[in-house]
């Protein structure tokens, strides 16, 4: 039995200016104990899919289950099995951090939960803020409380929707250390993030959405292997030759160019020398998940899903 199953999930929003199809028949499973990454550009349908999983939105078509429980027909059991960290900072301004976590425990009928609450406070760097009112916390600290709320009832499935957006490095390291521990202990994790280095480091498998369509689904290592190529990375203030500029990815002064073999690497360097382009910090490395992501997003029409792996793994 999968921890989470999406079966032909579609969602269309009706509006005065016409219909908007946010999801177009998405199907995949997440296995128990898996760390799964759901990636896609803004507007791809990630948050819509999570909202349907959480019971906050109803699918126009299809079925979603959590630990075998249908999110609509058996919503109470499905929600008990989920812990969701939303993108938005949502908090009650009238309670302290500890009171917030006790109340959250009560929502799920969990009594005598103080030992686990103390552990959450310690693991997430909130121990010294336990008595502080939620209004007094910084945005980063509020984000930590949201994570603690999602985990307070020890759900078997943890959903993290952009959990590190706009937070400091310390919180990112603290959060991932704790979530990785929970995953090792058997919790299933579903992560959406725009920090692709996080997904590459943490996720066993990755699915990619584009305009509501699942366009890639495979093990992280296999996605990287199938797109294996050499990447030249360097900095320059000069204008690239036209032939190189057409296939370069430029971010500020940083240029990245794909080269399939040593001969192509030498060809690129020769063109740079001929054009008298001065380069700094030249590196030759392998493609990373960001390279794979951009290649798939730019190369796969949203109307035709390319799944380099089974839909139900």
| Average predicted confidence (pLDDT) for the chain | 86
The size of the chain, in residues, is: 313
**Looking at residues 145-172, what average pLDDT do you find?**
87
Which residue has better confidence, 122 or 257? 122
Contact between 63 and 8 under an 8 Å Cβ cutoff? The reply is yes
* Dihedral sign computed on CA atoms, order 39, 40, 46, 47: positive
Rg (CA), the chain: 22
What DSSP assignment string belongs to 211-227? TTEEEEEEEHHHHHHHT
Contact between 84 and 104 under an 8 Å Cβ cutoff? The reply is no
Cβ-based burial of 271 (10 A; exposed 0-12, middle 13-18, buried ≥19):
middle
The first and second tokens of residue 262, run together, are 């040593």
Q: What domains, with CATH codes, occur in the chain? A: 4-81+155-224 (3.40.50.300), 229-286 (3.30.70)
The first and second tokens of residue 158, run together, are 């943890």
Contact between 15 and 185 under an 8 Å Cβ cutoff? The reply is no
| Residue-wise pLDDT tens digits, 277-288 | 888 888 887 778
Q: Give the containing element (helix H, strand E) for 118.
A: helix 114-123
Nearest to 181 by CA among 113, 249, 98, 124: 124
Q: How far apart are CA 57 and CA 79, in angstroms?
A: 13
pLDDT at 49 over 50: yes
Q: What is the pLDDT of residue 286?
A: 77
The region of weakest confidence among 73-77, 190-194, 235-239, 303-307 is 303-307
Cβ-based burial of 28 (10 A; exposed 0-12, middle 13-18, buried ≥19):
buried
Q: How far apart are CA 82 and CA 69, in angstroms?
A: 11
For residues 176, 180, 186 and 192, what is the CA-based torsion angle, rounded to 10 degrees?
50
Helix, coil or strand: residue 98: helix
Q: What is the pLDDT of residue 62?
A: 94
What are the two backbone dihedrals, phi and then psi, of residue 209, each rounded to the nearest 5 degrees?
Answer: -105, 145
pTM of the model: 0.81
């Amino acid at each position: 039995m999968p921890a989470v199953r999406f079966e032909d999930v579609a969602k269309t929003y009706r509006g005065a200016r016409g219909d908007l199809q946010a999801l177009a028949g998405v199907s995949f499973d997440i296995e128990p104990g898996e760390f799964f990454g759901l990636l896609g550009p803004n507007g791809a349908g990630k948050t819509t899919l999570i909202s349907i999983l959480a019971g906050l939105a109803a699918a126009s078509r299809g079925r979603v289950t959590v630990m075998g429980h249908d999110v609509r027909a058996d919503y109470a059991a499905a929600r008990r099995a989920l812990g969701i960290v939303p993108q938005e900072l949502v908090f009650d301004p009238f309670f302290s951090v500890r009171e917030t976590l006790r109340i959250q425990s009560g929502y799920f009928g969990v009594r005598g939960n103080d030992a686990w609450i103390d552990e959450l406070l310690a693991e997430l760097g909130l121990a010294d803020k336990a008595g502080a009112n939620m209004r007094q916390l910084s945005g980063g600290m509020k984000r930590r409380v949201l994570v603690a709320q999602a985990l307070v009832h020890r759900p078997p499935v943890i959903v993290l929707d952009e959990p590190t957006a706009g937070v400091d490095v310390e919180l990112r390291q603290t959060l991932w250390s704790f979530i990785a521990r929970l995953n090792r202990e058997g919790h299933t994790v579903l992560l959406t993030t725009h920090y692709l280095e996080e997904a590459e480091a943490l996720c066993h498998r990755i699915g990619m959405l584009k305009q509501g369509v699942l366009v890639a689904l495979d093990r992280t290592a296999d996605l990287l292997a199938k797109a294996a190529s050499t990447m030249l990375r360097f900095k320059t203030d000069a204008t690239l030759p036209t032939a190189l500029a057409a296939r370069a990815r430029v971010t500020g002064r940083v240029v990245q160019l794909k080269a399939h073999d040593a001969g192509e690497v030498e060809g690129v360097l020769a063109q740079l020398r001929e054009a008298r382009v001065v380069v700094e910090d030249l590196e030759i490395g392998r493609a990373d998940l960001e390279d794979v992501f951009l290649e798939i997003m730019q190369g796969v029409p949203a109307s035709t899903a390319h799944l380099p792996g089974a839909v139900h793994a």
